[in-house]
Each structure stands twice: as C-alpha cells, then as structure tokens.
Amino acid sequence: MATARSLLRWLRLARTLGPTIANHVAQIQPIMRADDVTKRWLHASVALRRKQKVPKKPTYEDDDDEDGDDDAEMEEEVGDADEADGSVTRCVNVKRPRLDAILKIGCNVSRNAADEIVCSGRVFVNGRRALKRSFEFIHFSVAAGDTVDIVLGPSSSNENFADVTRLLVTHVYDVPNSNRVSVRFRRWKRLTVDDIPLS
C-alpha cells in the first residue's frame, strides 16, 4: 500500500511540474515486495507439482528378514461364540506366516516393535518362550493350532497369574493365484492365565 500511495503522490506532483517529468514518472513501475515475490513463486511451484506425474517405484520381491507385509489384507469377523468369550476372529493375507508378521497384525504394532517384544522374552508359543536370537525362531512360521501369548504383566486380581494377549491360529492355507498365505486367528486382548511364568 505504501508504494501505491507514494506513486500517486509522485503523479500529482508531476502534473503540477509539467509534462516532461510526468512522462518519466509514469514509466516507473512499482517495486514488488518480497511477500508478493514469494507468493508468486510458491503458487508456481504448487502448480508445477500438480501437473507432474511421479512414476511408481518398481517393487521387488525379496526373501530377507526385513520384507514388508505392510500391504496385508485383513478381515475382522465377530461371531456369536466370539462375543461370549471376548475374542475377535481375524483373517489376514501375508507373504509368509512368520511370528513377527502375525504379532505385528495381531497386536497392531510396527514390525520393529514386534521384534522388540519377541527379544524382550514376553512372547510364548505353545507355552515355550520364543526368543528371536535363538536358531529355531529365526524363521519360525506359525501353523494351525499354535497359541501365541504376549505377556502384558502380572494379573491385577492375583499376582500368581499373568495377563496376556492371546492369538490362537485356527487356519493357515495358501491363497489361490497369488503368492500369499491366508492366516485366520482369534485374538483376546486381555486374558488371565496361570501357565505362563512371569520371570
């Protein structure tokens, strides 16, 4: 606003002084402020960003331990029998039914958090402690009938019992026309059990 006012003052002054000065003043363009320049630049960059199409990155299938099952498909079912005991039935399509992938989906945590839970010794598979560093659980795959318990801590009602999140794997089968495996399991968010050692 200040530049427009000063320009008007100059024009009024030029009219009074004469036509030669008025021609010189009329040719002077108002100076753009830094705010206007950055707004125009940002507007142009946003417009360019919308018009560009970014090519999708190619996906590679690899068999290392850090493969992502982030695109796992999940169905959640609640039946009459499930409501009675507080469990939820889930069906998940994953690349491989590994323990950390099932923990990730069953407990709604990241893959790194699932690895930390296993390494801390809080996971029991069929009553045996699952340690990620031990040889038998490096590429451990869950099977139908397996019970996976994640220890939450001692029970609030009785310190001899433990509160766990329990995953009971009911079915593991191949999905036709795909390289995925469908895993169906029941999950109890908090269950009090007595057969898990707390130490």
Q: Write down the pLDDT at residue 170.
A: 94
Q: Write down the pLDDT at residue 13.
A: 72
Same domain, 105 and 36: no
How sure is the predictor about 74, in pLDDT bands with cuts at 50, 70 and 90?
low
Q: Per the structure, how many domains does the chain have?
A: 2
Mean pLDDT on 18-30: 58
Q: Write down the pLDDT at residue 140.
A: 75
Residue of 103 and 13 predicted with greater confidence:
103
CATH code: domain of residue 171:
3.10.290.10
Same domain, 93 and 33: no
Say whether pLDDT at 164 is over 80: yes
CA distances from 171 to 90, 91, 149, 186 (A): 11, 9, 17, 10
Alpha-carbon distance of 117 to 178, in angstroms, equals 30
In a domain, 156, yes or no: yes
Mean pLDDT on 143-153: 91
Q: Write down the pLDDT at residue 54.
A: 54
Alpha-carbon distance of 198 to 187, in angstroms, equals 21
In a domain, 59, yes or no: no
Q: Is the dihedral of CA 113, 171, 142, 148 positive or negative?
A: positive
Amino acid present at 26: A
Q: Write down the pLDDT at residue 172.
A: 92
- The DSSP line for 133-154 is TSGGGTT-B--TT-EEEEEEEE
Q: Write down the pLDDT at residue 64.
A: 42
Lowest-pLDDT range, 20-24, 48-52, 161-165?
48-52
In a domain, 126, yes or no: yes
Domain of residue 30 covers 2-48
Token representation of residue 47: 């417009």
Lowest-pLDDT range, 18-27, 43-52, 125-134, 179-188?
43-52
DSSP designation for 175: P
Amino acid present at 20: T
